Amino acid sequence: MPEQASETRAAIDMESWVCPAPLRDAPNIVMGHGGGGAMSAELIEHLFLPAFGPAADAGMGDSAIVDIGGARLAFSTDSFVVKPMVFPGGTIGDLAVNGTVNDLAMAGAAPAVLSTAFILEEGTPLDELARVAQAVGTAAMAAGVKLVTGDTKVVDSGHGDGVYINTAGIGLVDQRTDIRPQRAASGDAVIVSGDIGVHGVAVLSCREGLQFGTAVASDTAPLHGLVAAMIETGADLHALRDPTRGGMAATLNEIAKAAKIGVSIDERALPIPSEVRDACSMLGLDPLYVANEGKLVAFVAAADADRVLAAMRTHPLGARAAIIGTCVADHPGMVVARTALGGTRVVDLPIGEQLPRIC
């Protein structure tokens, strides 16, 4: 599979390293570099990959597929720095488990084991840490993964920020599948598993003390059960992705670029809860750019779409699944939305992040 093809690079000479053009406007790290959008991609492409040199395997994506000891494994990592650590519907602990579980699931893998590494700020109350740790344990139980190894570091008061958590995970890839962004193809149906924009609005409402009518709770959830139900249909799943940082817009753009296809979506088909719609219109946010933590987007051959959609709808986490668009040969690498008024607009890759530190 292409992800595994080792693309060797010459290591750059750091003595003569010059900040490359796309990064030059910001010679320092800014919040947008962590947003999962264009700035994150530039940082990886123009700084991390050249600096890593030949040690980096092509891609360095959300998860890697590796063959070790005859087993086909998915391997993924994510750090979590969400602020506040507790928000409606979840905590940093839930995100830390579900985030890595979902990255593995999006590669068609059954998550097996997780590592947990905590960076704690001196002065963090032990009962607060215990509540976060319990959320990690409860989420791992719910997802059926074992916590097998870990690490704890403490940094001086005033550094860190309460609790940061990194999880890494290993999953066993289902041999029947070959799921990766590059396989999305013209003609594919684009399916979303449910309501979008919920997680970002939940964290924001809590952080900014805003009330948007009905409280919005994060959708954080482990998605590998839903993916297993989709695989069981026997359909050829081309690509899966959980639209976290940068929301649907980032995910659709990434897959359009990776597969060199156009994506055309119908805004009227997007499942957006009224609370999210209201919050977004009040704050001038676009729900397509707001993070989700318990949703997936699937790219499936048109002939299989109804079957996959039906299977998703029978799963609790896919009850509100909907076909939201198709892949087209036109405008490769670009996402175009048909608006409610019947016009069209380009859905760009976000530059940075509308809402920093939401995961």
Q: Determine contact, residues 353/34, Cβ cutoff 8 Å.
A: yes
Q: What's the token pair of residue 83?
A: 């602020």
Among 45, 86, 147, 182, binds its own copies (CB under 8 A): 147
Q: Determine contact, residues 19/337, Cβ cutoff 8 Å.
A: no
Give the residue with the Cβ less far from its own copies, 164 or 289.
164
Q: How far is the CB of 85 from its own copies (least distance, A)?
A: 13
234's CB contacts (< 8 A; 6+ apart) are none
Nearest-5° Cα angle at 89, 215 to 103: 130
**Residue 339 to residues 52, 201, 265, 332: CA-CA distances in angstroms?**
42, 22, 9, 20
Q: How far is the CB of 171 from its own copies (least distance, A)?
A: 8
Distance CA(216)–CA(294), nearest Å, equals: 14
Count of residues engaged in binding its own copies, rule: CB under 8 A: 97
Residues 167-226, interacting with its own copies (CB under 8 A) = 168, 170, 172
The radius of gyration of the chain from alpha carbons, rounded to an integer in Å, stands at: 20
Among 102, 116, 292, 326, binds its own copies (CB under 8 A): 116
Q: How far is the CB of 277 from its own copies (least distance, A)?
A: 28
Residues 301-320, interacting with its own copies (CB under 8 A) = none
Q: Determine contact, residues 267/337, Cβ cutoff 8 Å.
A: yes
Among 161, 178, 266, 348, binds its own copies (CB under 8 A): 161
Q: Is 125 in the site for its own copies (CB under 8 A)?
A: yes
Q: How far is the CB of 34 from its own copies (least distance, A)?
A: 3
Q: How far is the CB of 339 from its own copies (least distance, A)?
A: 32
Q: How far is the CB of 234 from its own copies (least distance, A)?
A: 22
Distance CA(49)–CA(66), nearest Å, equals: 19
DSSP code string of 333-347: T-EEEE-TTS-EEE-
User: Phi-psi region for residue 44, left (φ > 0), alpha (ψ -120 to 50) or beta?
Assistant: alpha
Q: By CB under 8 A, which span of 67-75, 262-270, 279-287, 324-332 interacts with its own copies?
A: 67-75
Among 37, 38, 62, 275, binds its own copies (CB under 8 A): 62
Nearest to 333 by CA among 229, 181, 219, 139: 181
Q: Is 7 in the site for its own copies (CB under 8 A)?
A: no
> SS3 of 312, please?
helix
Q: Is 272 in the site for its own copies (CB under 8 A)?
A: no
Q: Is 146 in the site for its own copies (CB under 8 A)?
A: yes
Q: Is 26 in the site for its own copies (CB under 8 A)?
A: yes
Q: How far is the CB of 327 from its own copies (least distance, A)?
A: 26
Q: By CB under 8 A, which span of 52-60, 268-276, 284-292, 325-333 interacts with its own copies?
A: 52-60
Distance CA(242)–CA(33), nearest Å, equals: 19
- What is the DSSP secondary structure assignment for residue 143, as one 8-state letter? H
Q: How far is the CB of 264 from its own copies (least distance, A)?
A: 30
Q: Is 87 in the site for its own copies (CB under 8 A)?
A: no
* Element housing 135 (H / E): helix 126-143
Among 84, 152, 260, 340, binds its own copies (CB under 8 A): 152
Q: By CB under 8 A, which span of 131-139, 197-205, 218-226, 323-331 interacts with its own copies?
A: 131-139
Give the residue with the Cβ less far from its own copies, 172 or 185.
172
